[in-house]
Structure 1
Amino acid sequence: MNAADYRSFADAWEDRATIRTRPRRRLEDDARLIYPLSRQPLVLGATFLRECPHQRDFALVQSLYKFIHDVVIFETEIVNRTASSIARGRFPLAYPFACRYDAMTVVVDEDYHALVAMDFMQQTIDLTGIEPIALPAEIELSRAIPAALAHVPEPLRPAAELICVAIAENTLTNDVAAFARDDSVKESVKGLMADHLLDEGRHSTFWTRLVRIYWQGASASDRAALAGMLPVFIERYLTNDIQKAFDLALIEHLHPDPAVRRALAEEAQSLAFPINAQHPLLGNILRFFKGSSMLDSPCVSDALAAYLA
């Protein structure tokens, strides 16, 4: 695909974008979970089940708050930074008007997702009376993207930024899909995620197409330089350091006994997925590399050899 072949999804956006078609989601006061147990394994640990099972809902509510907070950071500070630059014709990589128009719909969608997330957080506070504990000031991408950009020459940093955002948007789509399918959680939470997913499916295609356009016109030397930063990005993106720090802070609110808190912390520290070919999000990332044509380049397959095993 080259820029001349790009076709806008403007009509699909007008017909199906959640900001055009979805009502406000209202949180139910029912017995269903507000956040999936599988997404906060701390509450499934032996120490938690033995010492503080009565704190399960508190832990799940706090985990929802972090998820919402992460969404707001991701969409307003990271995705929209790049999308807005493309839409306004200020991104160093030139794209035709159809791409720029679609980029502006991404900006609108992502700001709307952030607004809906903030509304849902306030509804949760009002219903449960549980205020959020201190939430992280950044997400993994806040660290991973600058680290990746530092590994390429200055002229290639816009392309590196584009690739990193595209990877993240493709990963998020599959992550939200799993959330939306979980029948243990409240219908409003599932609906919130399904709405988000409807837009993110379009976004993931958009970013993949933009990377494909760039990659097919990039020189061999530029491709090689960009391939070299991919392991750096993946390693920092898939780390759970920020989540572990949040879980440790959450544990401080769960039990008054320091010995119990230490036991909870030890269990929490053992919950990370290794960053290798078995990581649950890696399949989504590799599908992006295939769809964007990046994986067709030997320099990329060589750089990702450890994850392709």
Structure 2
Amino acid sequence: MCGTVGMFVGCTALSYCPRRLLAAPAQDDAGEYRSPFTTWYERSAVRSSPRRKIDDRTEEPRHFFPPELVPVTRHPLIASLPAKVFDEVLVQHLYRYLDFTTKLEHLVVNRTVLGIAHGSIGVEVPEEMRLDAYKMYCDEAYHALFSADLATQVHQATGTAARLPGRPFFLLRLQEIKTELPAHHRALAELLFVIISETLISASLAEVPGHDGVDSAVTGTIRDHALDEGRHHAYFAHFLQRLWAQLDPTERRAAALLAPRLMDAFLRPDTEALREELTGYGLTREEADQVVAEVYTPEVLSTHALATSRQTRRYFRDLDAFDTPEVQDELNKYGLAD
């Protein structure tokens, strides 16, 4: 998965981006699986894309992330920072994206994908889906690799060290959710989290490669990532249908109640870590609190969550998963009810 959705809160392109649907579900009217990986050997990043390298020889001004896709840059207290400090804000945002991606792919997604490939996940799938899981495992491992590689290159090119929390916010929240669940529902929660994270479409991810003035290694990496994730989205949209058909009524109820909370766990930004980062740019704690409060308003958070999760929620609604009052209460609780 792109690992970026929660970090693009406030992107004005999100709700109308023409590329917001990176892929349609891989199924026909009968619900049969149609592989989105038929051209994988020719088109996947790991098979066809070059290593993306930062060119240290260029003297052209460049950013390491589009400022308009970093929400805090629109706040006057950040926009007025010295140019060198402002550039560091963008570099740190790139580091967060790369770290998020690396940990999501390695620590969560590929654990589930490996289970699908080996038939140990507890969900029956046709042979073609199992083989496609092997391809997806390669994709996700390569996404982690090129993210770590690019982070190293950025450090070498800028001399700016990454300031990152010990664990991404989504991992902490996923662990909290699993800890609170009965033991027999924890594996289901992680499986649902992977489905949700792989189908939450980031319009901003698709938009990054179209921005001028951003280092070509960054835009190339994100373009490679976005194209692969279109296939993954299609795969997991179909996988959700197969999972649902194999759950008993008690498991379906548990899954439906978990889905809104898991979407929120992935989408909600780590505002406390952001406050700490902002004080590193010379802002006082009060100023950092002001920036976060004025940028990440409840309205912005709600609009972002609704726009980003629209397709994923539709998949669950098509399964009648959200039809009960108690699930509607959960959607309302997390700002995910239309």
Q: TM-score interval w.r.t. the shorter chain?
A: 0.7 to 0.9
Cα 1:127–1:302 shift into 2, 3 Å: same
Cα 1:252–1:98 shift into 2, 3 Å: same
Match of 1:142 among 161, 165, 171: 171
Match of 2:309, SS? helix
Aligned residue pairs, count: 302
Q: TM-score, normalised by structure 2?
A: 0.78
Residue in structure 2 matched with residue 64 of structure 1 by the alignment: 94
Q: Does residue 290 in structure 1 map to residue 314 in structure 2? A: yes
Per-residue CA shift, 1:248-302, capped at 9, x if unaligned? 33334323xxxx4235312332122538983314333231232355553313863
Task: Give the structure, 1 or 2, with the largest relative contact order (CA under 8 Å, sep 6 or more).
Answer: 2
Identity %: 25
Distance 2:169 2:201 in 1: 13
Distance 2:196 2:230 in 1: 13
Per-residue CA shift, 1:3-53, capped at 9, x if unaligned? 993244443211211111111112243312111213333333222344544
- After superposition, the CA RMSD in angstroms is 2.9
Deviation at 1:92, TM superposition (A): 2.4
Which segment is superposed worse, 171-180 or 10-19?
A: 171-180
Residue in structure 2 matched with residue 160 of structure 1 by the alignment: 189
Cα 1:147–1:174 shift into 2, 3 Å: farther
Residue in structure 2 matched with residue 39 of structure 1 by the alignment: 69
Q: TM-score, normalised by structure 1?
A: 0.85
Q: Where does structure 2 lack aligned partners over 5 or more consecutive residues? A: 1-26
Q: Does residue 261 in structure 1 map to residue 291 in structure 2? A: no
Q: Where does structure 1 lack aligned partners over 5 or more consecutive residues? A: none
Residue in structure 2 matched with residue 120 of structure 1 by the alignment: 150
Match of 2:38, SS? helix
Cα 1:177–1:184 shift into 2, 3 Å: same
Q: Any residues of structure 2 matched to 1:1-309 within 5 Å, and which? A: 5-28=32-55, 29=58, 30-133=60-163, 135-150=164-179, 153-171=182-200, 173-240=202-269, 242=270, 244-255=271-282, 260-270=283-293, 271-274=295-298, 278-291=302-315, 294=318, 296-297=320-321, 298-299=323-324, 302-303=328-329, 305-306=331-332, 307-309=336-338
Query: Relative to total residues, which structure has the larger helix share, 1 or 2?
Result: 1
Deviation at 1:175, TM superposition (A): 4.2
Match of 1:131, SS? coil
